[in-house]
Chain A
Amino acid sequence: METLITLIQIAIGAALINNFVLHYFVGICPFLGVSRRIDTAFGMGCAVTFVISIAATLSWVFTYFILRPGAPLPAWIWQMAGGDASTQVNLSVLSYIVYIFVIAASVQFVEMYVRKFFPALYKSFGVFLPLITTNCAILFACLEIMKHLQDPMRLWALPEALTLAVGGGVGFTLAIVLMAGIREELDACDVPKPLRGPGIALIVAGILAMAFMGFAGVDRGIQSTLNAFLH
């Protein structure tokens, strides 16, 4: 039950309170670039959510077993090679390189898989897939997971990591679709000439970010409500 509450908290935190786009500013490039129409925005959002969950799962596996301080696999190899058991092997210096290649590989893999088995799906968001490798939101999710795998006393398990990733992806989709809806309306407005294009989009994003600030504290309320309900 405790775990479920934690998972709900992580999901709400990633999707609403600390929204990836409007609070952490990751994934701003597609947020400004692909948010002119609702359907393309939704396609982009789905593609990101899809890739982010795969990349997060893979990077959790790599971090948990290989890269974190005190990871089992390098320690085992070290001991097999006759090393001293008391020295801790720490490969975390390689994390960033591993993550970026995990992301690139999962984008490739998702693209091939979706094209082969779900042609309809590929048609709707396949064009966005190659763009995603340089989307900061994915790397950011991997880094957040890494942060929670540093302290051996409080390690995240796979469900937590996956919840964060999916929550973040949903939050990204929500933000980009909301933005696209507003920008479709903005087309009919008389925007001052210097503000046209990205200028007004950023100001709209600022107002959206203010609106999302209203979610702060919601997770704490949900936690106490659920706790009261359960006990």
Chain B
Amino acid sequence: MSASEPTALERFLNGILPENPIYRQLLGMCPTLAVTGAMKPAMTMVAATAFVLIAANVIISLIRGLLKPHLRILVFTLTIATFVTIADRFLAAYVYEMSKQLGSYIPLIIVNCIIISRCEICASKQSVGVALADAVGMSLGFGLALGSIATVREILGAGQWFGVTVLPPDVWPSWGIMALPPGAFLTLGLLLALVNWIGQRRAESLALREKQSKG
């Protein structure tokens, strides 16, 4: 392992904000849009994805020395598909209502680019500890992104948060559109712009400060 590889702490922190899978890398858009109509399904999705990501990252990292380069994608896919099936069965057995509501989006975790890209970028090159930290960081980043979108959509769309009424119907005429597909696209578009705007403002002020200190 070369010295330039990030450490466990760097990997962990990177996943949360600087390399946030949704807002920065634009990966895994399908569940991000589809299950964020309310907090409960969004958080179930995050938990399932986190389980698969952590399990896949750890296993790939454990066998990284034995991996033949031309078979690695096959091994990644096999691992991910197995853990997704296990997660799917668990949800169907213990939270059946939620599993019915999420429907096809649980198996679609298999083609969620976040997981395969983490296996490729981190787990197949670094030790178990780093891979675990990376997976946890990325899952937190994913959870943060889904949570923020679901919060906006559920509060504006139904006046609720986690199913608890925060804006009573007589104060807030729920915007039904926020719970529907267009609401997902609009919310993510605007939140993405907000994140970009904050990033750009910070970059500008940094540049300004540098200029001043030089001048």
Are A and B part of the same complex? yes
Seen from chain A, the residues whose Cβ lies within 8 Å of a Cβ on chain B are: 22-29, 32, 93-97, 99-101, 104, 134-136, 139-140, 143-144, 147, 192-195, 198-203, 205-207, 209-210, 213
Determine whether the beta carbon of B29 is less than 8 Å from that of A209. Answer: no
Nearest-Cβ distance from residue A49 to partner chain B, whole angstroms: 18
On chain B, the residues within 8 Å of A99 by CB distance are 107
On chain A, the residues within 8 Å of B193 by CB distance are 192, 194-195, 199
Determine whether the beta carbon of B85 is less than 8 Å from that of A194. Answer: no
Chain B at the A interface: mostly helix, strand, loop or mixed? helix
On chain A, the residues within 8 Å of B194 by CB distance are 194
On chain B, the residues within 8 Å of A95 by CB distance are 85
Q: A193 vs B198: C-alpha distance in the bound complex, in angstroms? A: 11
A sample of 27 inter-chain contacts (CB < 8 A) reads: A22-B181, A25-B33, A27-B30, A29-B26, A93-B89, A96-B85, A96-B88, A97-B82, A99-B107, A100-B111, A135-B111, A136-B30, A139-B111, A140-B104, A143-B104, A144-B104, A192-B193, A193-B196, A194-B197, A195-B189, A199-B192, A200-B189, A201-B189, A202-B185, A202-B189, A202-B192, A206-B185
Q: A147 vs B180: C-alpha distance in the bound complex, in angstroms? A: 23
Q: Given the interface contacts A28-B29, A202-B192, A209-B181, does A96 sit within 8 Å of B186 by beta carbon?
A: no
Seen from chain B, the residues whose Cβ lies within 8 Å of a Cβ on chain A are: 26-27, 29-30, 33-34, 77-78, 81-82, 84-85, 88-89, 104, 107-108, 110-111, 113, 116, 177, 180-186, 188-190, 192-194, 196-197, 200
Determine whether the beta carbon of B111 is less than 8 Å from that of A25. Answer: no
Known contacts A100-B81, A199-B192; 19 further A-B pairs (Cβ under 8 A): A25-B29, A25-B33, A28-B33, A97-B81, A101-B77, A140-B108, A143-B108, A147-B104, A193-B200, A194-B193, A194-B194, A194-B200, A195-B196, A199-B196, A200-B189, A202-B186, A206-B189, A210-B177, A210-B182
| Neighbour of B81 across the interface among A96, A194, A205, CB < 8 A | A96
- The A/B interface has a contact count, at CB < 8 Å, of 112
CB-nearest residue of chain A relative to B107?
Answer: A96
CB-nearest residue of chain A relative to B26?
Answer: A198
Determine whether the beta carbon of B189 is less than 8 Å from that of A199. Answer: yes
On chain A, the residues within 8 Å of B188 by CB distance are 202
On chain A, the residues within 8 Å of B189 by CB distance are 195, 198-203, 205-206
On chain A, the residues within 8 Å of B180 by CB distance are 209, 213
Determine whether the beta carbon of A100 is less than 8 Å from that of B108. Answer: no
On chain B, the residues within 8 Å of A135 by CB distance are 111
